[in-house]
């Protein structure tokens, strides 16, 4: 190396070597600019120090890194929202859990709230016994610790994520520190992060992207039932963009305005329109796919008037009630069929990292398909007030939770 240094400009050589190390993930990306420093000696000493300062170099090269990126400053205990049982939540201090090899620990900045959380909170899905359950399936924050199988370049990065908090190795986003599989983490803007928006930038958007890739291909028309949720709005935008006719069944007349603003031309309101009017729309546009986000008996009434050969995909259950009223003859003789669809099952076939990369590229390109309207902000300690707000039929945006 000394011979090489004598043969060429020392600074130029060390920059080339440092770039090579960075490209091969041997060191964290160097983003500290030294180009404007005219003092050649200082430039040389700085780069040389990064290359030859041993293990500490990995961290010192990351501009976001500080002593706070180490586990030494992650407190042994931190505050969490604890789900004790059906509709029983409290705010307590709890010990940190062990970080699994392929997981990261994230210092929370903002968290979302959605139907998946209430699937557990309302007791529709049993909790695994003998473990602390911290709700919150999505959020955003800063990576403070990584497992042994995770690249250290994640340290200090601003990220968004989703998580299954029924996973014994995970801890949900309604906590000061979340524990998340690296495979469900997506980097966000490192210079000017909008943590509040990022708290809702994966779960619904990723599902909408999956629906577009897996269910909308080759369709001329689809139909979906919808409230004022973000997911149906995203699906509507995809349909408009792809030239697919869409019939939106809104549970209230006022929600038709939301779908009209998203570009939907064919909108039906259950509180002002009749099923005969819906049947006319179905006969005219012949949807081949019905996306349903709710339970109860209403979806079976829609299914009953769909044309033979139509597929129904169940994507959620906003009402919290089981599906009812389906006729066996529709399934046997009309060649109609029903199935559940989950982004996780699709990701097993398509690749979760591939999906996250596509989603990230969409955000970077300025695509507004995935915009979520944000509402009031709440502290984790005020979780019960946040839930009351979420349940309001008149709320205009989703609550944002913060430590």
Judging by beta carbons within 10 Å of its beta carbon (0-12, 13-18, 19+), is residue 80 exposed, middle or buried? buried
Helix-helix angle 203-214:352-364, to 10 degrees: 110
Reduce the DSSP state of residue 177 to 3 states and report it.
Answer: strand
Spacing of C-alpha 160 from chain mean position: 7
The confidence score (pLDDT) of residue 32 equals 38
pLDDT by position in tens, the chain (length 403) = 444 444 445 455 445 544 544 444 434 434 334 444 455 445 545 544 444 443 333 333 333 434 344 555 689 999 999 998 888 999 999 999 999 999 999 999 999 998 888 888 988 777 777 778 899 999 999 999 999 999 999 999 999 999 987 788 999 999 999 999 999 999 999 999 999 999 999 999 999 999 999 999 999 999 999 876 789 999 999 999 999 999 999 988 888 888 999 999 999 999 888 999 999 999 999 999 999 998 889 999 999 999 999 999 999 775 667 899 999 888 888 889 999 999 999 999 999 999 999 999 999 999 989 988 899 999 999 999 999 999 887 788 899 999 9
The confidence score (pLDDT) of residue 69 equals 46
In the numeric block, which tokens belong to residue 341? 């669809």
- DSSP state string for 188-228: --SSS--HHHHTTSSHHHHHHHHHHHHTSTT-SEEEEEESS
CB 80 within 8 A of CB 94: yes
| CA dihedral over 172, 176, 179, 182, signed as positive or negative | positive
Report all structural domains of the chain as residue ranges with CATH numbers, in order of start: 2-63 (no CATH), 69-201+372-402 (3.90.180.10), 204-345 (3.40.50.720)
């Amino acid at each position: 190396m000394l011979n090489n240094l004598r043969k060429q400009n020392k600074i130029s050589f060390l920059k080339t070597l440092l770039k090579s190390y960075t490209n091969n993930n041997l060191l964290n990306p160097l983003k500290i600019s030294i180009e404007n420093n005219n003092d050649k000696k200082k430039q040389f000493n700085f780069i040389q120090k990064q290359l030859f300062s041993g293990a500490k170099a990995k961290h010192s090269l990351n501009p976001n890194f500080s002593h706070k990126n180490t586990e030494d400053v992650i407190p042994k205990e931190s505050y969490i929202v604890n789900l004790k049982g059906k509709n029983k939540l409290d705010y307590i201090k709890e010990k940190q859990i062990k970080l699994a090899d392929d997981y990261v620990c994230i210092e929370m900045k903002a968290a979302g709230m959605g139907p998946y959380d209430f699937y557990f909170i309302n007791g529709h899905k049993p909790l695994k016994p003998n473990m602390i359950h911290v709700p919150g399936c999505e959020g955003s924050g800063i990576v403070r610790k990584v497992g042994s199988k995770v690249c250290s370049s994640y340290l200090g990065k601003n990220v968004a994520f989703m998580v299954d908090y029924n996973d014994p190795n995970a801890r949900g986003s309604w906590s000061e520190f979340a524990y998340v599989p690296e495979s469900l983490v997506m980097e966000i803007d490192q210079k000017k992060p909008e943590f509040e928006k990022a708290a809702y930038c994966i779960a619904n958007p990723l599902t909408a992207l999956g629906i577009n890739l897996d269910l909308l291909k080759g369709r001329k028309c689809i139909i979906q039932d919808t409230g004022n949720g973000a997911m149906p709005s995203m699906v509507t935008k995809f349909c408009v963009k792809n030239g697919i006719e869409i019939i939106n069944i809104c549970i209230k007349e006022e929600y038709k305005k939301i779908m009209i603003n998203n570009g939907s031309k064919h909108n039906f309101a259950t509180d002002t329109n009749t099923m005969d009017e819906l049947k006319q729309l179905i006969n005219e546009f012949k949807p081949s796919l019905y996306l349903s986000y709710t339970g109860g008996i209403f979806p079976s009434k829609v299914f009953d008037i769909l044309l033979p050969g139509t597929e129904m995909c169940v994507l959620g259950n906003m009402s919290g009630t089981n599906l009812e009223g389906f006729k066996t003859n529709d399934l046997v003789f009309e060649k109609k069929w029903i199935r559940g669809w989950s982004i996780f099952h699709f990701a097993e076939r398509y690749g979760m990292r591939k999906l996250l990369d596509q989603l990230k590229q969409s955000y970077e390109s300025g695509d507004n398909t995935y915009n979520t309207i944000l509402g009031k902000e709440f502290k984790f300690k005020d979780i019960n007030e946040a839930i009351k707000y979420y349940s309001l039929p008149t709320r205009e945006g989703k609550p944002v939770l913060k430590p």
